[in-house]
Amino acid sequence: MQKKQKINILVTGATGFIGSHLCEELVKKKYNVFGLSSLNNFQNIKSLLRQKKIHLLRGDIRNLNFLKKIIKKHQIKTIFHLAAVLPGKNDLDNPFLLFEVNAKGTLNLLNAAYLTGVKKFIYASSSSVYSEPAQYLPVDENHPTRPSTIYGISKLEGELYCNSYSKAMNITILRYCGAYGKGQDSHYATYRFINQALNNEPITIYGDGRQTSDFTYINDIVQGTILAMEKNKPGIYNISSGKETSIIDLAQKIIKLTDSKSKIILSKKNTNRPFRFFLDISKAHKLLGYSPLSLKEGLSRYISDIKN
């Protein structure tokens, strides 16, 4: 019996928070993974590199000729596009970098994929493409897309480029929301609250704490992303917990799970998201079989990771 040939997969943004977790899971599933990164910090995939289970490529998605060369050389048939400049405190300070990487970089990659015969393209978008505050809740994939930030605009531009190439290859767009987990930057609320709770320090919340969001455990983000490839049902999907959680409820859950003596302090400093927000994931559940963990289970695993 002839042995089934491994699929060569390219993951852009392979050393990032979500990208590194995705690479790790793809390797576990025995896929042949090529990780692309422009960064010098390989901490997130150090274990994979040490075990020689990933092929790391250094380069920039703004270089079209480079992209065509590596895709052709390594016979890539599936691309997970996660490389992006993330939102900063003020996107207006550097809007052109967001455009160059998130929008034009996506167009470069799509064009390179088209010219080299790639079959599947999974684009990591964001819930930031939706209008904020939401016009209705929960926010489904048909909700108006009128982003209020340069970051959200740049991700929506990427989606529009994906739409234009959708007749040439199978393209799936995933709108992530509120990812948290091992390897997350320290300025995110989930990480900050857990560390403060573990040290019995006060937990500061901006505003009245009633603003809500959709917090999604990193393993669920990865699960939904891989399902998008394996189920092969192109389209746009929300990938999140699908549950609404207030910031004050998040802090209280973390205090309880860590058995902490921390007290919650409400700051008069304004929050940058003073509204309710969460996604409808029924489409991903029905068509992809996506089923995320509860917030309690996700937080428990994350707390265990931080402790260890």
Q: What are the residue numbers of the active site?
A: 151
CA–CA gap between residue 10 and residue 25 (Å, rounded):
13
Region of residue 72 (phi > 0: left; psi between -120 and 50: alpha; otherwise: beta) = alpha
**Which tokens is 292 given?**
């995320």
Contacts of 173 (CB under 8 A, 6+ apart): 123, 125, 159, 162, 235, 236, 237
- Strand order of the sheet with strand 55-58? 55-58, 32-37, 8-12, 78-81, 120-126, 170-176, 235-239
Beta strand 32-37 pairing with 55-58:
parallel
Cα 175 from Cα 160, distance rounded (Å) = 13
Q: First and final CA of the chain: distance in angstroms? A: 45
Owner of token pair 């809740």: 137
